[in-house]
Amino acid sequence: MNLDAAGRVIGPEAWSDLFENIKSDCYASRERKVLVFVPATNADSVAAIRILEVVLRAIHLPYSVYPVTRYAQVQETCESELTGDFVNFRTIFFINCGAQEDLLNLFTPSQLELLKVVVIDSHRPIHYNNFWHRNIWIFHDPVDGEVSPEDMPKPDGLSDCEDEDEVGRPPPAEGLHGDDGEDSDDDSFKENVRPLQRQRLSEEDESSRLPERQAARAAIRRKRKEYLGQGQTFSKPAACLLFDLAYQLQQDDPFLLWMSIVGLTDHLVHQQISPERYAEYQISYETRSNVYAPTNERAEVTVQGRGEAGAMTYEVDTPSYGSIEPVDDYHFTLMRHWSLHESMLHSTYVATRLKTWHDRGRKKLEELIARMGFPLQHAKASFAAMRPFLQQQLGTKLTQHGHNYRLDDDVKSFIMKVGYAVKLCAADAVHGVTALLEVCQTPGSEEDCPMHRFWEAWEALGVKDNVSIKRGIELSKRLQRAILSDGGLLIGRKAVRELQTYRLFNLSKEDIANRELLSQPLALLKLGMFLREAHWQETNKRKNLVLVGPKSQNPAEGGFCLVAGINASGPELALTQGNTFGQMFKSAALRLNADVQQDGFETSIIKVQAEDVIRFLRELATVDLTAVT
């Protein structure tokens, strides 16, 4: 396939060709190193980099991975790496970042001319400048809808050059003499006019075309505004895109399938995918897991006896390393690593329906457990130690009694089995890895570095590294307790402000117990989703939500507060209803001229200096999204 003709947004049919092209270019150049930028912020990114590493190693390409949290870090790395005679040829990958950002701001024009930039990112919409640049390739699966040039605004440079004058105009006739005799007469006339007359005619022509040029520029600006104004949405997870690539290159295996399942589940847990789209991918992966299903083999094991006892032979099942099985799962956070009671008590799904932050809600939960026929002492014991017949009856009992408590949704998922001991559910892996990325045991230490936390999360996804994932799961339990405790406290205090288009919670002035835990981006988003669901269950009215996080206690953060904007719709409309808070935050920050940071990878989250928070919120309340440029 001719990649130049394939377009800048490429579908699955061109991915393997692009990698063959990258391999050929790198082998033919002095500089074979590949740079990879990946956010140190979410489980999908960690899983995606695991898959990409397998692909790059298979084609013998050396690479360097740079975990980053902001585009400023990307730019700093590029400035240090892309120097001197670096570019005989080099390829740069952006994993789960880069699609929404104008990448032309990160490189000089001369660098981009010599680079291949490959973007594998689930964030949408794609920035129009990236779409039109010939050296930027963006992975896109048509299942998320076609991306056509007709729908894409023109790049920024076009509005400033004379080429824009021709937007909407027919092309000039080829050659000096067309078929139309009137054109020939016109050319003869122009050749015979005096220079002064020609200048006057040229000025008159330019003057007559001015309104047309202005209208063309206005149309381009309007299209850009409408395009960016649709807000942030999410397409196919990066880990899933890379698994599809590995499958094309015949490098897929159970481990890479598990990584893609983790990426998919990350989007489900953080409500970045609709239930319908998740179900489509889940069915596809269930079929794939059957292909990798291990055979049920048995082996003979000989044990040497002591004393007079001779050797004895036993027949045992061989352990299945890395088998993936579909399971019926529930919206009970970390159930397999907690007790059933604690898991239900602290899961957003149950807590917001039963109000388990109240004594009345806890009594309702215990009532439900009793109706299901589970002794409370068993429900409060470790789920792993619960009697097997009770574990097996959980789904049936929930179907019988859960609807009376509005708990009638289950979810199809997967579990990874490694040997006899390790069983890990996909959602538990996501919770554990996310906690490792965000929660620091000792602020200010080496472990507080995002890069250090990223590589620990990377280790935790190694499946056999039981220590790291267990630590992540314990940290995630702390986070779930914090959300229920402080979220319930905010609801009890009626700390919400009802504005015209959104609800507002400002934690920067609230006295809460878990300030450090809830000052991290995904933790704050989880708290926001908890508050949104709690109010929806209470009022039956969905409304957007703005949540100001507590002031960061980390000196390196410089006294910033995170501000997160959360859509009212929840996961049901995750693919179609974009989060427009990014544009609103940008507009409010520009009006305020305050010290803010909005160069992270989630446009709906912004950092504001603590002393500017009140002014920022006042400005935000006046922003009309239809007027945002």
Query: Which CATH code, of 3.10.310, 2.60.40, 1.10.1200, 3.30.1360, is assigned to 494-627?
Result: 3.10.310
Q: At CA 384, angle to CA 271 and CA 327, rounded to 5? A: 45
Residue 448 has pLDDT above 80, yes or no: no
Report pLDDT for 177. 36
How far apart CA 58 and CA 75 sit, in angstroms, is 29
Task: Report the C-alpha gap between 523 and 549 in whole angstroms.
Answer: 10
* Overall average pLDDT of the 18-27 stretch: 86
Q: Which two tokens stand for residue 261?
A: 């399942």
Give whichever of 11-20, 339-348, 571-580, 616-625 has the largest mean pLDDT: 339-348
Mean pLDDT to the nearest integer, 29-42: 85
Average pLDDT over residues 434-461: 83
Amino acid at 131: F
For 418, residues 6+ apart whose C-beta sits below 8 A from its C-beta are 321, 322, 424, 463, 464
Treating both helix axes as pointing N-terminal to C-terminal, what angle do 450-460 and 466-493 enclose, rounded to 10 degrees?
A: 120
> 520, 567, 569, 546: which is closest to 619 by C-alpha?
546
pLDDT at position 164 is 39
Of the pLDDT bands very low, low, confident and very high (cuts 50, 70, 90), residue 449 is confident
Angle made by CA atoms 359, 363, 366, in degrees to the nearest 5:
140
E-only strand ranges, 56-96 = 63-68, 90-95
Phi/psi for 299 (5° steps) reads -135, 155
pLDDT band at 212, cuts 50/70/90?
A: confident
Query: For 148-187, what is each residue's pLDDT tens digit?
Result: 888 888 887 654 444 433 333 333 333 333 444 444 444 4
Supply the pLDDT for residue 218. Answer: 84
pLDDT of residue 432: 96
Q: Which CA distances in Å does 10 have to 128, 140, 148, 184, 601?
A: 15, 6, 11, 45, 22
C-alpha distances in Å from residue 464, one per residue of 48, 294, 325, 417: 18, 18, 17, 10
Q: pTM for this one?
A: 0.86
Residue 627's pLDDT is 52
Contact 486, 518 (CB under 8 A): yes
Q: How far apart are CA 231 and CA 125, in angstroms?
A: 7
Q: Do strands 63-68 and 560-566 pair parallel, antiparallel, or not at all (unpaired)?
A: unpaired
The confidence band for 191, taking pLDDT boundaries of 50, 70 and 90, is very low
Name the residue among 246, 568, 262, 201 with its Cα closest to residue 425.
262
Rounded Cα–Cα distance for residues 109 and 114 (Å): 9
Is pLDDT above 50 for 318?
A: no
Tokens matching residue 190: 């122009």
Sequence-ordered strand ranges (E) for 3-89: 9-10, 34-39, 63-68
Query: Quick count: other Cβ atoms within 10 Å of Cβ 377?
Result: 8
Residue holding tokens 């209470």?
Answer: 538
Closest CA to 525 of 583, 597, 600, 602: 602
pLDDT tens digits, 223-275: 888 888 888 999 999 999 999 999 999 998 999 999 999 999 999 999 999 99
Q: Between the CA atoms of 275, 279, 281 and 287, what dihedral angle is there, to the nearest 10 degrees?
A: 170
CATH of range 1-144+206-292; options 3.90.870.20, 2.40.10.220, 3.40.50.2300, 3.40.228.10:
3.40.50.2300
Give the CA angle between residues 254, 260, 262 to the nearest 5°: 105
Residue type, 250: Q
Band of the pLDDT at 303, cuts 50, 70, 90? very low
* Closest to 533 (Cα-Cα) out of 266, 353, 340: 353
CA distances from 377 to 322, 383, 386, 535 (A): 34, 11, 10, 32
Between helices 521-539 and 426-438, what is the axis angle to 10°?
Answer: 120
Residue 511: Cβ within 10 Å count: 10
Distance of CA 317 to the CA centre of its chain: 40
Tens of pLDDT along 475-526?
999 999 999 999 999 999 998 999 988 999 999 888 888 888 888 898 999 9
Cis peptide before 125 (omega within 30 of 0): yes
Confidence of residue 299 (pLDDT cuts 50, 70, 90): very low
pLDDT over threshold 50, residue 289: yes
104-108, 152-156, 303-307: which is most confident: 104-108
Residue 298 pLDDT exceeds 90? no
- Pick the closest to residue 54 from 69, 70, 36 (CA basis): 36
Amino acid at 324: I
Q: What is the mean pLDDT of residues 434-453?
A: 79
Which range, 29-43, 47-61, 295-309, 588-602, has the best average confidence (pLDDT)?
47-61
> Please, which pLDDT band fits residue 541 given cuts at 50, 70 and 90?
confident
Across the range 77-86, mean pLDDT stands at 74
DSSP string, 150-213: GGSPPPGGGGGSGGGGGTTSPPPPSSS--S-HHHHHHHHHHHHS-HHHHHHHHHHHHHHHHHHH
pLDDT tens for residues 396-416?
A: 999 999 999 999 888 999 999
Please state the domain extents for the chain.
1-144+206-292, 494-627
Do the Cβ atoms of 44 and 273 come closer than 8 Å? no
Local confidence band at 28 (pLDDT 50, 70, 90 cut-offs): confident
Looking at residue 530, what is its pLDDT?
95
pLDDT at 598: 83
Q: What is the DSSP pairing of strand 115-120 with strand 136-139?
A: parallel
pLDDT value of residue 513: 86
Residue 467 vs residue 313, higher pLDDT:
467
pLDDT digits (tens, 9 = 90+) for 350-383: 999 999 999 999 999 999 999 999 999 999 999 9
